[in-house]
Amino acid sequence: MSQPTLHDLHRPLGSTGLLVSPLGLGTVKLGRDQGVKYPNGFQIPDDQEARMLLKLTRDLGINLIDTAPAYGRSEERLGPLLRGQRQEWVIVSKVGEEFADGLSRHDFSATHTRMSVERSLQRLETDFIDLVLVHSDGNDLAILEQCEVYQALAQLKQEGKIRGYGFSGKTVDGGLKALEQGDCAMVTYNLNEQAERAVIDYATAHHKGILVKKALASGHVCLSPGIDPVRASFELLFDRPGVASAIVGTINPLHLAHNVSTVAQVLGKN
């Protein structure tokens, strides 16, 4: 039986004009192995392994790639690895969180936002980023109401440096507020955590984009024997029409292929 792909299952990300695969590749593991919440340790892949992973990702029909300044060297590595392929990828990056010397710090000022996006453009070797999300520290409403990050992103969008912007937050109130003006919200939604469902439903009603993080509960999901946790997770997700894509951060080619097969099955029966 041939390996299913997602080439024919790309879907709109809200009203951004972007078409994305229902699975996206999260790239924290390409750049950072400190202070990450995974059940098992891992080694950051070398360039050859990373190149093969990205080729497999593309061959499986995934066009969405998720990175961030907070992912260590992820952006810097992706620039050279994706050379000559820019039109084949929808690239999502972030602003607001920096990671250095094993510590995260946050800055949601207009100055830092612009600096961060300009730096991401250089690192990724591109003149535009498809989507930039605010990497929240959890104080979602305070960031949106008291900081200049969203205004700065709106300006960068007007300048054509980014095609869309939004918010990767931690609260329902933050997600709803972020979608009033922004194009997309990234929410946590999985078998263990479904508090942010209201954000997905709001996005569906208002034609906004939804990306899901921790779709597989960062590898922690457990179910009763005989039930495939990956399949159950994706069935839950794609039962919500507002969900455009789930970001899964794997560097294991077998896991990647299994995830793609499962999503193709789940969406194939809809």
With tokens 């299913």, the residue in question is 4
The pLDDT tens digits along the chain (270 residues) read 689 999 999 999 999 999 999 999 999 999 988 777 665 677 899 999 999 999 999 999 999 999 999 999 999 999 999 999 999 999 999 999 999 888 899 999 999 999 999 999 999 999 999 999 999 999 999 999 999 999 999 999 999 999 999 999 999 999 999 999 999 999 999 999 999 999 999 999 999 999 999 998 856 666 677 888 899 999 999 999 999 999 999 999 999 999 999 999 999 965
- Written as one string, the DSSP assignment of 68-84 is -TTSTTHHHHHHHHTTT
User: What domains does the chain contain, in order, with CATH numbers?
Assistant: 28-268 (3.20.20.100)
Locate 7 and state its tokens: 């080439």
SS3 of 168, please? strand
Locate 111 and state its tokens: 């100055």
